[in-house]
């Protein structure tokens, strides 16, 4: 674009960086130097602007349906039976876990839990309801477990 004296100008750009991050958090520093025209070109301190930005690269997330630490009591769940759908998961350390339910269209149905759970076996129950307390319709739903850099999911069929 055209640069004009004493006017802010915004530049937008994208950059892709390929690195091997391993298992640890990696920190990268990006420094950008921008030179712009100014009313007085002899004043270099007004012509050059430096911005430094720190970017943290998080290890890739493991996304798996075959995650053995997450199990459901039933593959086909009938809420009208009165029994809840038991969701069991095992943790190797105490940590924060988020459990959610989504429909096959990707719409969020309900947040079941977002708590710190203990090491070992943990259990949570779902009664086939939405956030607002309504019964979900028949169909396929996805139960997700999110913890640190792990996302596990299981499908369940609701039969009404």
Q: What mean pLDDT comes out for the span 60-76?
A: 74
Three-state secondary structure call for residue 97: strand
Q: What is the pTM of this model?
A: 0.60
Residues 6-18 have pLDDT tens digits of 666 655 555 554 4
Residues 131-153 have pLDDT tens digits of 999 999 999 999 999 988 788 99
- The answer to whether 154 and 143 are in contact (CB under 8 A) is yes
Q: Where do the structural domains in the chain lie, given as residue ranges? A: 1-59, 62-158
- The answer to whether 135 and 48 are in contact (CB under 8 A) is no
Measure the CA–CA gap between 157 and 160, rounded to whole angstroms: 10
Three-state secondary structure call for residue 80: helix
Q: What is the pLDDT of residue 113?
A: 96
Residues 27-39 have pLDDT tens digits of 445 555 555 545 5
- The answer to whether 79 and 159 are in contact (CB under 8 A) is no
The CATH number of domain 62-158 is 2.60.40.4070: yes
Q: What mean pLDDT comes out for the span 109-133?
A: 96
């Amino acid at each position: 674009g055209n640069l004009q004296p004493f006017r802010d100008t915004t530049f937008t750009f994208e950059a892709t960086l390929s690195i091997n991050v391993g298992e640890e958090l990696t920190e990268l520093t990006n420094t950008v130097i921008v030179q712009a025209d100014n009313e007085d070109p002899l004043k270099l301190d007004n012509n050059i602007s430096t911005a430094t930005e720190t970017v943290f690269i998080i290890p890739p997330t493991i996304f798996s349906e075959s995650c053995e630490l997450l199990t459901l009591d039933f593959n086909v769940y009938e809420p009208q039976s009165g029994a809840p759908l038991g969701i069991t998961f095992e943790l190797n350390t105490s940590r924060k876990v988020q459990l959610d339910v989504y429909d096959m269209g990707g719409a969020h149905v309900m947040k079941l839990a977002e708590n710190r759970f203990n090491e070992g076996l943990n259990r949570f129950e779902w009664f086939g309801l939405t956030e607002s307390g309504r019964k979900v319709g028949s169909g396929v739903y996805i139960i997700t477990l999110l913890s640190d850099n792990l996302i596990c999911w299981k499908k369940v069929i609701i039969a009404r």
